Amino acid sequence: MAIPDDSPSAPRVAVVTVSFGSNDVLPDFLGSIAPSSSSPLHIVVADNRPDGSVGGLAAACGAVYLPLPSNEGYGGGMNAAVRDLPASVEWVLVSNPDVVLDAGSLDTLVAVGDTDPRIGSVGPAILTSEGALYPSARSVPSLRTGVGHALFANLWLENPWSRAYRRDADEAPVRRDAGWLSGACFLVRRSAFDSLGGFDPGFFMYFEDVDLGHRLGKAGFRNVYE
């Protein structure tokens, strides 16, 4: 029996991810979700390459499995997952399937978001598999910086455009506002996400998070790094 959207037990927080042959990493990600939150959650696994193997992994953790008719990229898959959420959901954790959430981490992000209605998204500190801090909160790059970084990042390691693009990586991991948050894992206010039409499907993969953060900022919302 479905839980009515106005029921006190209806989830106000959801977790969405997109799989593209992600069978090897999904079990660890899905297994880390429940310990990350003390609240009821609605979980959706959108599948950009349905072959019958991901549905069982989703079902094992109580997630909704959403096979997509075509591969619309990362942002397109996330948009489909968010559209599938019940109306009760106020906050959505957008995450790659290769992420492992820390215990209580989702509770922390939601608590930060609830402090200010102007907060449109909240991003956590992200560690690489080697334990290094990943630069997950950055300023929106100018066109010149973005193009320079894209052209010279692998050819001229210390070029000024890449240094500017990566400058935020040197900042201490303290709460602060940012231009954009990494799409690898961040919490977004569902009403803000919906008001902007979600991710721009024109970005098949990469840069969709920069674009969303920029549009959230232009719409008057804050992107907060926690």
**Does 96 map to a domain?**
yes
**Does 22 map to a domain?**
yes
Which is higher by pLDDT, 191 or 202?
Answer: 191
Give the pLDDT band of residue 99 (cuts 50, 70, 90): very high
**Does 43 map to a domain?**
yes
Average pLDDT over residues 184-196: 98
Which amino acid, one-letter code, is at 161? W
pLDDT at 122 over 80: yes
How far apart (Å, rounded) are the C-alpha atoms in residues 138 and 128? Answer: 17
pTM (two decimals): 0.83
Give the pLDDT band of residue 126 (cuts 50, 70, 90): confident
**Does 101 map to a domain?**
yes
Q: Sign of dihedral through CA atoms 112, 75, 39, 100?
A: negative
What is the CATH number for 55? 3.90.550.60
Residue 188: partners with Cβ closer than 8 Å, 6 or more residues away: 91, 92, 94, 120, 121, 212
Mean per-residue pLDDT of the chain: 86
pLDDT at 142 over 50: no
Taking phi first (over 0 means left), then psi (-120 to 50 degrees means alpha), and beta for anything else, what does residue 22 get? alpha
**Does 213 map to a domain?**
yes
Average pLDDT over residues 163-182: 68
So what's the pLDDT on residue 133?
73
Which amino acid, one-letter code, is at 61? C
Give the pLDDT band of residue 153 (cuts 50, 70, 90): low
* Contact in structure between 46 and 16 (CB atoms under 8 Å): yes
Average pLDDT over residues 138-154: 53
**Does 151 map to a domain?**
no
Give the pLDDT band of residue 95 (cuts 50, 70, 90): very high
Give the pLDDT band of residue 139 (cuts 50, 70, 90): low
* Contact in structure between 224 and 119 (CB atoms under 8 Å): yes
**Does 157 map to a domain?**
no
The SS3 assignment for 204 reads coil
Domain that holds residue 41: 13-131+172-225
Domain count, the chain: 1
How far apart (Å, rounded) are the C-alpha atoms in residues 54 and 27? Answer: 10
Average pLDDT over residues 184-208: 93
So what's the pLDDT on residue 163?
65
So what's the pLDDT on residue 162?
61
* Contact in structure between 166 and 74 (CB atoms under 8 Å): no
So what's the pLDDT on residue 205?
79
Give the rounded percent of residues in the chain with a pLDDT score beyond 90: 62
How far apart (Å, rounded) are the C-alpha atoms in residues 198 and 27? Answer: 27
So what's the pLDDT on residue 1?
32
**Does 211 map to a domain?**
yes
Q: In angstroms, what CA-CA distances link 172 with 73, 135, 168? A: 32, 10, 9
How far apart (Å, rounded) are the C-alpha atoms in residues 55 and 139? Answer: 37
